[in-house]
Amino acid sequence: MHYYGYMGGVSFWDVLGHIVIVLLVIWLVIRIVCGPRWSRRWGRGMGGPGMWQSHNALQILNERFAKGEINKEEYEERKKTLLG
State pLDDT tens for residues 59-83: 899 999 999 999 999 999 999 988 8
Domain boundaries, the chain: 1-46, 47-84
| CA 65 to centroid of chain Cα atoms | 33
Phi, psi torsion values for 2, nearest 5 degrees: -110, 130
Per-residue pLDDT, 41: 52
- Residue 38 confidence (pLDDT): 54
> pLDDT digit string (tens) for 25-65?
999 988 888 766 655 555 444 455 555 555 688 889 999 99
Whole-prediction pTM: 0.38
Burial 47-76 (b: 16+ CB within 10 A, else e): eeeeeeeeeeeeeebeeebeeeeeeeeebe
